A and B are shown apart, each in its own frame.
Chain A
Amino acid sequence: MVATEVRPARRSALGRAAAPYALLLPSVLFMLALFGWPVISAVQQAFTGTHGGATQNWHDMVAEPHFWQSVRNTLLLVVVLIPVQFVLAVAMALLLRERLPGRGFYFYVWSVPLAVSDLAAGLVWLSIFTDNGYLNSALGWFGVNPVEWLSYQNASTMFLAVFLAELWRATSLVLIILVSGMQMMPRDYEEAAEVFGASFWQRLRHVTLPLMRPSIQVALILRTILAFQAFAVAQALTGNEFPLLVGQTYLWFAGLNDPHVASAVALVVLGVSMLTAIGYLVMLRRPDRSQGGER
């Protein structure tokens, strides 16, 4: 295009202020066009019912014997698993940065579980923990007689199995986000911190982690939301003995052909996820962006 473009000297204020909204528009329209009506009809369903008033569905939901147990299990999984996962992912990211020999291979293997669907992951860990599985076989080679890891009678080993399977499956998500965030961080800050006497832990607390705040925030939000959706792995390992919240949605929708109560449970999941997301957004607000306006 030969003619050099003559741009107006000063773009209208509207043009500049509208820039972010123009960039967001396609995604908002796309979401509303495809998920708008379905979400509305799902919400409607939650408050209409074949029998009884608007609250009947919610009453049925709570009356289901496994409901409160599934809420407890889901929260237990989220509260216990996510902190451990973040500690592990940060450690792995820092190990990768140490440029150990073979790090390319390490990073590939560490990001592999991301590729495994939760159904396949359930299968993998079932093959390990089941009574005649690989773990008991390995114990057998050492003369230790097999343990019934997944039996509903020993709840602690059952939780441990689900915990390890979920730890294995979902840590790669956090790792990859942290690693891609860490890319952009120049090493000068950490070198400066080291010169001025900061120990490894002090560097981590005062420099490395604060600088990775955007990635940590994204990883936390996405990981928590996906944690509330976790269900297939727990079902593959323990059947219905370790019920999770989303499992209740499937139970009502597929098992009992009652989309109304299923929508109610779905809204509970949505609500809890939103609350945690808002919590993270507020908690990890970036103080140094206080200069506001377009940078």
Chain B
Amino acid sequence: MSNQHQTSGISRRSLLRFGATVGVTAPLLAACSQSTTGAKSGGGTVNLLSTQHTPTTEADAFRQILKQADSSLSVNFTPGEASPTISQIQAQVQANNVKTNAFLGTHGDLATLGPNMLEDVTSLIGELGSAGFSADNLTLTKLGTSKNYYVPVEQATYVLAVNKKALDWLPSGADVNSLTYDQLLAWMQAGKAANGGKPIFGLPAGPKGLLHRFTQGYLYPSFTGGLVTTFKSADAVTAWQYFKNLWSVTAPSSTNVDFMQDPLSAGQVLVGWDHVARLVNAPKDKPDDWLMVPAPKGPKGRGYLAILNGVGIVKGSPDQDRTKQLIKDLVKPEVQLSIVRQLAFFPTVKATLPSDLPPAVRLESDAVTKTQSGGMLSLPSVGMGANDAKFTKVFQDCFTGIVLNNADIQQTLTTQGQTMQQLITDSKAPCWVPDPKSSGPCQVG
């Protein structure tokens, strides 16, 4: 075959060969990729995406729990970082080619997906009426609407982990199980002084840390009795003043700490506040060296934040009855108990905690029950939808300004208050616990 006209040196034969190689490699690549979720992909499998249980050991533990719960159901459990996971679901729904059946995430993640990405599960909640979900949790699952959009499967809260070594500097007369914030401050000041100026208290202020939950769910309710309605009140100013004093006895390396269990188990700090699942590894090696105590009380009482994880069905996903089966399995009492035993997330259904819990989890469950009794519950933002993250950012910016950069407290709260008001009005979100109910959008007070 002699090709007469040589097009610019690229003979047709070599173009053919190039096309052939690409043609061959493409299907080959598509076909022989390895499934990385331990389950056969394809029909009859529930693809469960998740922003929870991402650490490798936790992910495998959760896969075991699912397998034991219902061996007939094959589940692809794919944990990952929030942003790529949520983007994936958004893309699938937009392209109406949904491959993900279910999504396990925090209330915030589920709020970001929102009603137009999640199926209405009110009927499923009805079927599970007997499981005993708490009323507050069910309000949360409505995402500010009248229907439920996910089923609560795990809940948790935040406690204080205390290395018993720190008890030497506990102010006399203070009961570690019902501290006040002032006693905590005095305690930590004494600890720092006795430790050659090296703070013994730590907070998760890193990029992936949950410090903003401390401000929203603990400082504000305990000092002001509310959140949005008392955002820039006089009590709020005292709360931030307290926070500055507390920060002066907090380890500066906290600005790069995401999980308190790391510095605690390394002995860098002795006392730390964090999410129960992010403290559980601290006492793992030597449980009897540790104490888990509820968060302190402020002038307005012991504010605490209940964190809720739930599973939603992705809108337009196939095999929805198989997904419902998965959710039913997850809310079975024995599955809930294996979750608390292995993952330190507490049941959302009525289930008596067994006595043989691992020591660290046992410590945490006592602290949780003490926190709930007589505590002032507050919930993460309700009805803020996609603005939930920006709402949280207001508190993060306040912390950076007031605590790290010593900006004027009242002035920062006023400016940040305007941003918050804009966000709430845009989302038309009525007030939520701990603020009193409001008819229209919640007003920043």
User: A-side interface residues toward B, CB under 8 Å?
Assistant: 1, 3, 5-8, 11, 15-16, 18-19, 22-23, 50-51, 65-66, 130-132, 148, 150-153, 235, 237-241, 250, 253-258
User: Whole-angstrom distance from the CB of B373 to the nearest CB of chain A?
Assistant: 35
Partner of B268, one of A3, A11, A66, A132: A132
Verify if B321 is at the interface (C-beta below 8 Å from A): no
Verify if B128 is at the interface (C-beta below 8 Å from A): no
User: Whole-angstrom distance from the CB of B432 to the nearest CB of chain A?
Assistant: 19
Contact: A8 with B112, CB < 8 Å?
no
User: Whole-angstrom distance from the CB of A139 to the nearest CB of chain B?
Assistant: 16
On whether A22 and B8 interact (CB within 8 A), knowing A150-B256, A257-B86, the answer reads yes
Contact: A257 with B386, CB < 8 Å?
yes
18 A-B residue pairs with CB within 8 Å? A5-B3, A7-B6, A8-B4, A15-B8, A15-B9, A16-B8, A18-B8, A65-B397, A148-B252, A148-B253, A151-B253, A153-B252, A238-B256, A240-B207, A241-B256, A254-B83, A256-B389, A256-B393
Contact: A253 with B83, CB < 8 Å?
yes
Q: How far is the CA of A241 from the CA of B254 in the complex (A)?
A: 11
Question: Known pairs A23-B10, A240-B207. 13 more at Cβ < 8 A?
Answer: A5-B2, A15-B8, A19-B9, A50-B426, A65-B397, A131-B253, A235-B207, A237-B256, A238-B255, A241-B256, A255-B83, A256-B389, A257-B386
User: Whole-angstrom distance from the CB of A239 to the nearest CB of chain B?
Assistant: 4
Chain B, residues 385-402, CB within 8 Å of chain A (1/0): the string is: 010111001000100110
Contact: A15 with B83, CB < 8 Å?
no
User: Whole-angstrom distance from the CB of B62 to the nearest CB of chain A?
Assistant: 23
Contact: A254 with B8, CB < 8 Å?
no
Partner of A257, one of B1, B7, B84, B389: B389
On whether A131 and B390 interact (CB within 8 A), knowing A6-B2, A237-B256, A238-B256, the answer reads no
When distances are taken between beta carbons in the complex, the residues of chain A under 8 Å from B388 are 257
User: Whole-angstrom distance from the CB of B266 to the nearest CB of chain A?
Assistant: 6
Contact: A254 with B9, CB < 8 Å?
no
User: Whole-angstrom distance from the CB of A35 to the nearest CB of chain B?
Assistant: 16
Verify if B5 is at the interface (C-beta below 8 Å from A): yes
Q: How far is the CA of A22 from the CA of B1 in the complex (A)?
A: 22
Within 8 A of A (CB), among B56-108: 81-84, 86
On whether A239 and B255 interact (CB within 8 A), knowing A19-B9, A256-B389, A256-B390, the answer reads yes
When distances are taken between beta carbons in the complex, the residues of chain A under 8 Å from B255 are 151-152, 238-241
User: Whole-angstrom distance from the CB of B52 to the nearest CB of chain A?
Assistant: 16
Partner of B426, one of A5, A51, A152: A51
Q: How far is the CA of A200 from the CA of B390 in the complex (A)?
A: 58
When distances are taken between beta carbons in the complex, the residues of chain B under 8 Å from A5 are 2-3
Contact: A130 with B253, CB < 8 Å?
yes
When distances are taken between beta carbons in the complex, the residues of chain B under 8 Å from A238 are 255-256
